[in-house]
Structures are given as C-alpha cells and as structure tokens.
Chain A
C-alpha cells in the first residue's frame, strides 16, 4: 500500500475523535513513587493531546533501563529494544516511514554510556524525531551503579568510595557534534518548562535532543534536592525562539536572554557549572534532515522489473 493510501485510512480514523491526555495513557507507569519519569510521561501525554496525534501513527522507541519502560505506558506503537540501541531502531523506522511521528526515550546509561556511539551519529544524521534523555545520574534498573553522568565523588554500588571521574556532560557533548540542530535542557520538577520544551522539540524539524534532569528517589535522592528546594540555583534561558513558559517568572528569578541560534554562546553556557540552566541552548531549523536527504522517488514493482532487466544488459553474455 502506498503512503497515500495510508494517509487516507488515517483521515477516516480522524473523523470525530478527540483525544484527551489520559487517552494516551495505556497503563499505569510502574516506576517507583516519586520517580521523575512520571513527570515526563505526563508532559508527553499533554503534548500528544495538544497535537491530537493518532496513536496508530506514532512510535515510541526505547532501549533498556527504567526510563526505557516508557513505551509500555503510552497508547501508541512502541518498540522496547535492547540496551543502548534505541536510536538505530528509531532511525530505521523513520527512514522507512518518514510520515510516522517518532519519539525516543532513553536514559544516561542507555544513551551516554552503552549507546554513546549511536547518540553521536544520530545527532549528525539529524532525523526528525524527539529524543528525551531522562538523566537521573545513575543506573536504576540494575540497582545503583555509577553512570557517565554521576557527579564526581558520588558513591554507588560500583564506586563505593565515590565516582572517580568527572561527569560527562550530555549538553556539551551534543553541542559539539556537527549537524546538531536542537539541544535543550529541562527538569522533571518544573512541569511547565518540561512541557514547553517538549512542545518546542516536537515543533523542530530535526533531531530534537532534550536532556531531562530526572530525580531518582531511590538511588540519587539528594543530587537534585538543592536545585528543587532553591530555585535561585537555576537559571532559565529565555528567548522568543526558545521557550519561556508563563508563570515561572516569580519562582525562577534568574533569567537569561539566550538566542538559540548562537552556538558559541550555547557551548559557553553549557560549560559553566555555576547554576543549572534550563532552556533551549541551540536550535537551527534549517539543517537538512537525513530522511529527506536520502529520499528517493517511489518505483512501482513492474517498473523495477523493467529497470532490472535493462540492468542485466550490462552483464549479458
């Protein structure tokens, strides 16, 4: 069936159906009480309802880890894959079916450690998808091992005397990759900002990378505690081309105008560790997306046969 026929089917399905946020919840999330992943799931449900996305024409792809259970809880097609490999699966889906909405949910172990190679290259491919890195600074599902984003000195089951290396900063890494087109940071405890960031990411035609600072009540309850209690430690990056959700001005007084087009400023801000910065660090909607770069005209089966028969002439004896 051609893609045209698919869209006709979808149009029929569209008629008269209106989705509420709760319609996108397939079953209750099975994360620990107080887990930041719930906040991400709620924001995603709001986004899907706002965009009235058809459950049948979007795919949530994940790897392995607490956050990667996400697709099981969303009313959509889902692919819960293997550790670190969500991005190649998502890329294949998007290459084959560019008309599908693709969301990737990954964690700091999944994306920044075992899947780091795919992460770097997926940024460069710049395929149109929303990628949520739920970063709790720890391996949760395997019960408390140091991840690449675990702060220096923070202890875990595998580093009982504290992490020996400085944390790898996903924002700096992402901003350093050629062809990066959308890089943002938000936090599970600022729902309005999380939602606004997701909206912007969905709106961006390309690889939208969002690092979501995510609390893990079980293994890293203290890492973001200060930031949650003391909003003065957080600076919002605001701009008309970024995000500036209403209602946060009073709580988050530290605000910085940052033009997301300014890659040098974005990199400089990402490097500074004086405050937590939430907002769109970089955005360029003009960069080519891989599925369009590689798009080729459709060829009917009969035409393929005709062409292949002609191709054989080159090899004819």
Chain B
C-alpha cells in the first residue's frame, strides 16, 4: 500500500480527521449489488459517468434480473452494476470485483457463487441483517457468511438503511445514493460532477427530489470519511481529444440520427428497447419519429414501407424479434429495398436469457431465411463503433439496395464507455434520392450485369410506376417463373455482396502477423480478447488476435492472415460442443458460430472456445483457454488480473 497525501476534494472533505491509507492503483472494479428496484443502476450510472468525466477509462456492466421486481432479499433478486475504471482506456468488464457494496447478504451470496468477487474483495455490507429481529433473516445471514468464509473477503458493516432513513422516509429510494456517497469518498470523486449528474437524471422530478438525493450522497461520503480507514486513488490522464460517454444502445440511437434515419419502427424487446427510449426522447427534434408497431413483424413492415417510399428506416430488435421479422427481411432483399436492422443479441434459443449477453444470432442473421437471401451483416466491436455502425449500415443499405443487419449485444447495449466525440459529417445524412423523371424504357431492375446494381426508383418519380413483388421477377419487375430469369435474379442479388466486399480492407491483426496461435473474435468481445492476448504476449507467447466486424460478406484476406499461424481459434459467447464429452467426437462436434463460418470460408481446421454463461467473457478465462490451446497437456494456472 502506498501512502499518499490526502487529496483535496471540492466539497467532500478538506480536513482529514484521521490517518487514511490511500492505495494508488491503475484500475479497480466495483460492484453495487442490491435487490431489484433499489436503484443500483442509477447509482452506478452516475458513478461511471463521474469517473469518465474525471478522465478515467470506464466500462460498466449491468446485472439485471429478468423480472421487474422479484421477491427481495433472495439470491434471484440480484440487481446491480459492475464498474471497472482505470487510468488507461478500459475495454471490457475485466475479471473480478475488488470492492462491493451489498444491500443484503443474499444478493451478495449470488455474486459470490458466480465467482464474481476477487478473493480479497472489500465488501461494504448493510449491517441491518446480522442482528435482525427475524430469526429466519439472521439464520440466512449466518449461513451466507459461512458459505462465503472460503474467501478472504474483508467485510465492513455499514448502516446503509439507518443512515438513509435520516434523510428519506422510504429507504428503497435513498440507499443507492448513500452508497454512491460511500464510493465517492473512497475513490475521491468530484462531488460537483455527481451533483450535476443527479440534477440531469432526475430532471423530470421536483427540486426536492434532487436536493434529497444530493444530501444522501453527502451523508454517504461523510460516513465513509468518519468510519473507513482506506481509500483508493486511480490517477487519470486528461484526454487529448474531446470525448463523450454513453452506452451502446444510446450510441446506436444517436448514430441513427447522425446517419439521417428519420424513422425507427420497433416493438419492445429486451435488451434492445432502450435504443428506442433514447430515440423517442430526441428524434422529433431531428424531423423523425419512433413508431411503436403492434408487433415485431409490423415493425419490420413499416420500416420497409417507409424505405420503399424513400426514407431509409431502422428497425430495432433482439433474437426472438429477428425470428419474427425473417419473412419481411427476405422480402426487402427480394425487392431490393434498403433496410437497417439492429439486433441487440441476448441469450437464446426461444425466450432464453432476455437480459443477458450472447452472440448466438450470427448464423441466423446471415442465413435465417428460406431461399437464398444475401444480405450484409456487421458487428460493431465497441460502443464507439455502435455509433458509427449506424452510419455505415445506412450507407451500405442504400448503395447496394439491400438489408444490413447490425449485431450488437447486451454487453454493448448496457455497457458504458467513453469515446472520441464523433466529428459529424453532413454527408452522412445522405443526399436525397435523385427523383428526376425515369428515362423512357428504364427497367425497374436494370441490373448492371457486372455488379448487380441498379437505380433505385421510388414512388413519386414520374415515368417510374411499376409493381415490386416478392415473387420471382425479371428486370421489368414482372412475375417470372422462367428458369434462367430466376437464376439471373439470384445471381444479381448475390453479386452485390461480392462488389461490396471488394471495397473492404483486410482485418487488422493485434500483435505479430505470424505466430503459434491466432484468436479470432467478432463484435463485443474485442476488448476482453485483446486484454487476454496481451497478458499471454507479456509472457512471451506467440499469440495474436483478430476481431472481425464484417461477417457477411467476410472481410478480404482472411485466409492469408490465418495461414501465418500454426493454430487458429475463435472465441465467442455462444454454444459449441466439447470433444470428449459423451458422444462428442471430431465428427459430431458442433462448433461456435463464427468457427462454422470461417471453417467453411477458409477450409482451415479452425478450433473454437466458446462459452454462454449469460455474461461477458472475462479476460482471465480467455487467457486460460489460450494457454490450454498452446499447451494442451499442461496444467493451467490462471493469470492474475493486473
């Protein structure tokens, strides 16, 4: 532990009343664990934003039950948030939490059982339960403490509810802000930033609500100041460029505005819905609307109708909604109407894990239609890319008259990270379609035989009247069952993907361009994979990684890149069989979804390590599997989180 001078803080404390150990660390991971409905998200949201505004790198992850407010004080009622923040950029949720604030023993126990807490985790625990008048509660507490005694957790009892009750009558609406105050003091956060955040978050509430929340924060800070003998200092490096901080769904929402899309047609589904929350609040200032359709199918239909009529629209959904939109997506591809579909992936199949992360929609997004329906599929790798992916998606959809599916996931959707403030470009808004009269004789699908591309004609264009149809059709858009005509249409729709692929650059390799192992991922696992690879590389291992963004068509040059490594392994948050399990052999094994794709694409014997725990991958688990792949026979030691 390093003893530093006490930092002067704007309002929290100017006088240190006793000796406090201030440990300087390059990063820390904090959990706020509560019953659902006790406001952990608001507490963490403000804390994360404050860290970002103070110049720390930040990544947050929500712990959400599927129910709105399940029975309290149980292991299934856990709601919370993990905030990892550090001196440098933080790209993922890391390995384990070093400090936790827990509102009761049961929700804490659930985190312990998930191995989410570091062995030396400091736990600020509600003191109410240990000596509660109800014997059942005392017994549950004792049993939980007994179970957790296998670890070296350091427990600190905090009278959270008792203190909150001094300020508010309903502790459920106050404990979270008291906890925020504890964290503010422990990590020397700037309270003026916290106050501004509170004022913004509660802007629709009364001044009284804002004032009492600020009072609670100050009470929490004061309690920590008087009772705790430790603090952590995480230096921050001022950013060279302007940055903004938000979650992936907010980034997609604002990205769609930057892309000039004026209609978001959606149906509520977790974890995608908050994209429309973000948009619904602001989009009308941008000449657009959010249309909440009667179902997922109609949401796609309205978007396609609008796009057909000239306004490229967005529809936002998650896995089960993708399944319902399937037929409409194929229609858009068949009639060559541009459409942007955002799929915020969750756990599946069926209703699956509504609030939790998975990367299981890759193959269904690429192939999930009867018939051959080529479309573009892209997967942003960070929250910053979520923003820009919407601009890219619209541009591709409109240029190639096709459907672009953007795959994010629950990790990106609710994760909060700061990124370089985008420099907006008026060209992103896209020039309006050329609506000049259609030249006499121009066919509705005048496919360029080389590229499959054709001019987009929309209603209102003089001389262009024709009927589009989901039936097989010829260049005149006439229903055609002629064998060669059907094949021509297929070829032209497919050709566009090849033309688009020719505009792409090969993916970048993180690390050396040759070595023993290449780890390949896609989408949101980017940060965790690179952190794990860096850990292995620091030990001198010849490992590199490559994170794909374009999945259909795949980026060029992949086979060349792969061929420079002895082994190639995908890392994905989805299911794959493990060879050696009953009945599972090289012949019966089902691979992770990207692995299937890449094996078919490259004819290289690509392995995979996948996991579908309903939470983001941890760098330490990826690291462990990198080592296992490199040294199959050796015992594995899990690397310590740095």
Interface check B78, CB cutoff 8 A: no
Other-chain contact of A77, B291, B303, B432, B464 (Cβ < 8 Å): B464
**Would you give the shortest CB distance from A57 to chain B, in whole angstroms?**
5
Within 8 Å CB of A13, what residues of B? Answer: 437, 462
Inter-subunit contact A97/B435 (CB<8 Å): no
Inter-subunit contact B260/A301 (CB<8 Å): yes
Inter-subunit contact B466/A88 (CB<8 Å): no
Inter-subunit contact B244/A79 (CB<8 Å): no
Other-chain contact of A91, B302, B331, B462, B467 (Cβ < 8 Å): B302
Inter-subunit contact B291/A72 (CB<8 Å): no
Within 8 Å CB of B303, what residues of A? Answer: 92
Q: Which residue of A lies closest to B56 (CB)?
A: A317
Q: Which of A76-95 contact B (CB under 8 A)?
A: 76-82, 85, 87-95
Interface check B5, CB cutoff 8 A: no
**Would you give the shortest CB distance from B50 to chain A, in whole angstroms?**
10
Other-chain contact of B418, A1, A294, A317 (Cβ < 8 Å): A317
Q: Mark B261-293, 1 if CB is under 8 A from A, else 0.
A: 001010000000000000000101111110101
Inter-subunit contact B424/A308 (CB<8 Å): yes
Other-chain contact of B463, A2, A56, A76, A91 (Cβ < 8 Å): A56
Other-chain contact of B305, A26, A90, A296, A316 (Cβ < 8 Å): A90
In the bound assembly, the distance between CA atoms of A220 and B421 in angstroms comes to 66
Inter-subunit contact B289/A308 (CB<8 Å): no
Q: Contacts A59-B459, A304-B257, A315-B244 known; A88 to B470 CB distance under 8 Å?
A: no
Q: Is the interface of B mostly helix, strand, loop or mixed?
A: mixed
In the bound assembly, the distance between CA atoms of A87 and B305 in angstroms comes to 9
In the bound assembly, the distance between CA atoms of A294 and B295 in angstroms comes to 19
Within 8 Å CB of B432, what residues of A? Answer: 1-2
Q: Contacts A311-B254, A316-B242 known; A305 to B426 CB distance under 8 Å?
A: yes
Interface check B123, CB cutoff 8 A: no
Within 8 Å CB of B282, what residues of A? Answer: 311
Inter-subunit contact A118/B294 (CB<8 Å): yes
Q: Contacts A95-B263, A305-B424, A308-B258 known; A80 to B306 CB distance under 8 Å?
A: no
Within 8 Å CB of A90, what residues of B? Answer: 305
Q: Mark B458-473, 1 if CB is under 8 A from A, else 0.
A: 0111111111111100
In the complex, number of A-B residue pairs with CB atoms less than 8 Å apart: 200
Other-chain contact of A60, B53, B243, B331, B467 (Cβ < 8 Å): B467
Interface check B4, CB cutoff 8 A: no
**Would you give the shortest CB distance from A86 to chain B, in whole angstroms?**
9
Interface check B245, CB cutoff 8 A: yes
Within 8 Å CB of A288, what residues of B? Answer: none
Interface check A299, CB cutoff 8 A: yes
Other-chain contact of A80, B239, B288, B289, B469 (Cβ < 8 Å): B469
Q: Contacts A1-B435, A85-B297 known; A96 to B418 CB distance under 8 Å?
A: no
Inter-subunit contact A6/B309 (CB<8 Å): no
Inter-subunit contact A55/B309 (CB<8 Å): no
Inter-subunit contact B257/A56 (CB<8 Å): no
Within 8 Å CB of B286, what residues of A? Answer: 299, 304, 307-308
Q: Which residue of B lies closest to A314 (CB)?
A: B200
**Would you give the shortest CB distance from A93 to chain B, in whole angstroms?**
4
Q: Mark A59-81, 1 if CB is under 8 A from B, else 0.
A: 11100000000011011111111
Within 8 Å CB of B311, what residues of A? Answer: 96-97
Q: Which of B228-252 contact A (CB under 8 A)?
A: 239, 242-246, 250
Interface check B55, CB cutoff 8 A: yes
Interface check A121, CB cutoff 8 A: yes
The winner among B300, B305, B307, B335 for most chain A CB atoms within 10 A is B305
Q: Which residue of A lies closest to B251 (CB)?
A: A315
Interface check B308, CB cutoff 8 A: yes
Interface check A309, CB cutoff 8 A: yes
Q: Which residue of A lies closest to B479 (CB)?
A: A72
Within 8 Å CB of A250, what residues of B? Answer: none
In the bound assembly, the distance between CA atoms of A192 and B306 in angstroms comes to 35
Within 8 Å CB of A317, what residues of B? Answer: 52-53, 55, 239, 242-245, 418
Q: Which of B294-327 contact A (CB under 8 A)?
A: 294-295, 297-311, 313, 327
Inter-subunit contact A1/B260 (CB<8 Å): no
Within 8 Å CB of B245, what residues of A? Answer: 315, 317
Other-chain contact of B465, A75, A88, A121 (Cβ < 8 Å): A75
Q: Which residue of A lies closest to B327 (CB)?
A: A82
**Would you give the shortest CB distance from A129 to chain B, in whole angstroms?**
11
Inter-subunit contact A88/B460 (CB<8 Å): no
Inter-subunit contact B426/A93 (CB<8 Å): no
Other-chain contact of B459, A9, A26, A97 (Cβ < 8 Å): A97
Interface check B433, CB cutoff 8 A: yes
Other-chain contact of A1, B294, B299, B433 (Cβ < 8 Å): B433
Q: Which residue of B lies closest to A13 (CB)?
A: B462
Within 8 Å CB of A92, what residues of B? Answer: 263, 265, 301-309, 313
**Would you give the shortest CB distance from A254 to chain B, in whole angstroms?**
38
Other-chain contact of A302, B295, B302, B426, B468 (Cβ < 8 Å): B426
Inter-subunit contact B289/A296 (CB<8 Å): yes
**Would you give the shortest CB distance from B86 to chain A, in whole angstroms?**
15
Within 8 Å CB of B418, what residues of A? Answer: 317
Within 8 Å CB of B265, what residues of A? Answer: 92
Q: Which residue of B lies closest to A125 (CB)?
A: B294
Other-chain contact of B284, A74, A100, A296 (Cβ < 8 Å): A296
Interface check B623, CB cutoff 8 A: no
Interface check B451, CB cutoff 8 A: no
Q: Could you jot down 13 A-B contacts, CB within 8 Å?
A: A57-B459, A71-B467, A80-B468, A82-B328, A91-B298, A95-B263, A297-B287, A301-B260, A305-B426, A311-B282, A316-B53, A317-B53, A317-B242
A78-B465, A82-B470 given; name 6 further pairs at CB < 8 Å: A13-B462, A77-B466, A90-B305, A96-B310, A121-B294, A317-B242
- Give the top 4 A-B pairs by smallest Cβ distance, nearest first: A92-B305, A88-B301, A78-B467, A301-B429
Give the B-binding residues of A (Cβ under 8 A): 1-2, 5-6, 9-10, 13, 26, 55-61, 71-72, 74-82, 85, 87-97, 99-100, 117-118, 120-121, 294, 296-299, 301-302, 304-305, 307-309, 311-312, 314-317
